[in-house]
Structure 1
Amino acid sequence: MCGRYKRKGDKQRIAEEFHVQHGIEDIAMPPEDLNVTPYSTQPIVRDNRDDGQREMVMMRWGMVPFHTKMLESLKGRNMFNARAGSITTTGSWREAFKKRRCLVPASAFYEWDKIGTAQGKPFTLTLSDASMFAFAGIWDAWRDSRGDWLQSFAIVTTEPNEMMAQIHPRMPVILHRRDYDRWLSRDETERPPADLLRPFESEGMEMVPGGPTVSDTRRKGPMAFHTTTTAMLPNIEE
């Protein structure tokens, strides 16, 4: 599961990191969001349908499939995460996975311990080099009864790597840069890139305890998300 993440970087930085060519001037967004929550509006990167170059679009985190009749029918359902194991068979995700894939820019994500000795405590997970990265996302466009369009996305989750398995049974799919083009391709195929839906390597990540107020979705400032210690959890092989 991935229910909270951090985006530290304005639209110009995202454009540079992900080689975005379209949409930069058309959107307004805060320079950072240290506590991204489901159902908020966030930037994603996808291939432009006309020229295939990358574009940045603001979308709601919490996907509304195109075939949804009423938003009320999704009440109580987790539509912000799509499980990799059932993404090719579940009606809510299947068509989007085939041809509407995107990158979700992030700097870190948060998870709460469900397995280890510190159950209920939040942890912050980043790449070891502290660089911005991308979750594997899928998106869709839904039209309401008035004819207005809502674009929305979900983050794909998979089994945990060894580090993540110490605290949680799932983790978001983090894509390697070398796989961005393949993931973003709009070419419809009967064999979409399911092989990319795998755990990121533990040795390329770091995990530290989260701050005491990270659970408060109203807290957006840096003091909510950092502790004075950088102690890692014990190595699972020890």
Structure 2
Amino acid sequence: MCGRYYRRSDKQSITEAFKVGKLPPGFKLPPDYNIAPSTFQPVIRTDRETGEREITMMRWGLVPDKIADPDSFKIFSTTNARSESILDKPIWRGPFRHTRCLVPLDGFYEWLQRPSLPQPPPIEPGEHGLFGEMTVVSKKASKPKAGSRPVYKFEMPDGAPYALAGLFSEWRPRKGSSHPALDTFSIVTTEANELTDPIHNRMPVILHPRDYERWLNDYDESRPPIDLLRPYESNGMRMTPANRLVGNVRNNGPEMLNSA
């Protein structure tokens, strides 16, 4: 599952990391430390005319193009697409074959869902590459509720931006509709790896840079990139405690990345 993520890298870092050649006019990309479903976020896709990678803003929560009224569709059921059923369910099968994208981020959050399992070892400097930091939480931030679950963040060991496997849909208004065109996306998930499993039994599909081109542009239906939908290597990720205040979408600042 992936229900919240963050992006601290600036526009230049994102365009360089993902070799983006086309940006929207006047495009700005401020940091966002608490990205939630139903918000508009940058995704990377291939421009059909030029073949360049482009950044475009889409709303998180895929709306199928056949839906008559996107406002009546429950997008929270489509924020994630399970890799195991991606070829079986019509809502995912079409986008998987024809409209794939990269979702750039610096890390994702996950709440403790499996308290009955052995929990991660104490996080200390130098141990398994994990470390913890303390910070003073902004006075403007809402206080976490008593008994709220621990939350962790998952990122690359060097803190560099990376990409999740995404699917997108281009909804266009029917004749007589006053609703504007709407582009939406979903994040593909798979089973957890050894690092994430004590926290949750699902994780988003993280793509290796070597696979970006294939994910974006390989539309050979006889050989779809289903093999890319696998858990990322545990030793290629870092897990640290995050701030429980991230549970409230109104809290958004760098302090969300640190335990409190």
TM-score by length of 1: 0.89
What's 1:48 paired with? 47
Tell me the residue number matched to 1:20: 20
State which drifts further: 185-194 or 55-64: 185-194
Aligned residue for 1:231?
none
Give 1:186 shift. 5.7
* Divergent runs of 4+, >6 A: none
Instruction: Please state whether the residue corresponding to 2:197 is helix, strand or coil.
Output: helix
The corresponding residue for 2:105 is 106
8 Å CA contact 1:63, 1:152 repeated in 2: yes
| 2:151 aligned with 1:122 | yes
Aligned length: 227
Contact 1:100 1:186 (C-alpha < 8 Å) held by counterparts: no
**Range with bigger deviation, 71-80 or 143-152:** 71-80
Deviation readout 1:54-102 (Å, 9 max, x if unpaired): 1110111111111112225522751110010011111111100001000
| Structure 1 residues 27 and 97, CA gap change in structure 2 (3 angstroms) | farther
Q: Which amino acid aligns with 2:219?
A: D
Q: Aligned with 1:165: secondary structure?
A: coil
Asked if the contact 1:45/1:103 (under 8 Å) is kept, the reply is: yes
Pick which of 217-226 and 181-190 moved more. Answer: 181-190
Q: Is the 8 A contact 2:149 2:244 kept in 1?
A: no
Q: Percent identity of the aligned residues?
A: 44
Flag the structure with more relative contact order, 1 or 2, with Cα contacts below 8 A and sequence separation at least 6.
Answer: 2
Separation of aligned partners in 1, 2:244 and 2:108: 15
User: In 2, are the aligned partners of 1:113 and 1:122 still within 8 Å (CA)?
Assistant: yes
Which of 190, 198, 220 is the aligned partner of 1:158?
Answer: 190
- Preserved contact between residue 20 and residue 53 of structure 2 (Cα < 8 Å): yes
Unaligned runs of at least 5 residues, structure 1: 229-238
Residue 127 of structure 1, CA deviation: 1.2
Deviation track 1:94-141 (CA, whole Å, cap 9, x = no partner) reads 100001000000001000011136782111111112110000001010
Task: Decide whether aligned partners of structure 1 residues 149 and 76 sit closer, same or farther in structure 2, where only a CA change above 3 A counts.
Answer: closer
Question: Shift of residue 192 of structure 1?
Answer: 1.5
CA distance in 1, matches of 2:30, 2:13: 9
Q: How does 1:170-185 map to 2 (within 5 A)?
A: 170-185=202-217
Task: Call closer, same or farther: CA 1:52–1:186 in 2, change over 3 Å.
Answer: farther
Q: Which has the higher strand share?
A: 1
Verify the 8 A CA contact 1:27 1:58 in the aligned structure 2: no
Q: Over residues 27-73 of structure 1, what are the superposed CA-to-partner deviations in whole Å (9 max), with x where a residue is unaligned?
A: 53442101111011111111110121111101111111111122255
**Which runs of no fewer than 5 residues in structure 2 stay unpaired?**
120-147
102-111 vs 121-130, which moves further: 121-130
Matches within 5 A, 1:34-113: 34-75=33-74, 77-113=76-112
- Find the residue that maps to 2:102 and give its secondary structure: strand
Q: Who wins on radius of gyration, i.e. which is larger?
A: 2
TM-score by length of 2: 0.82
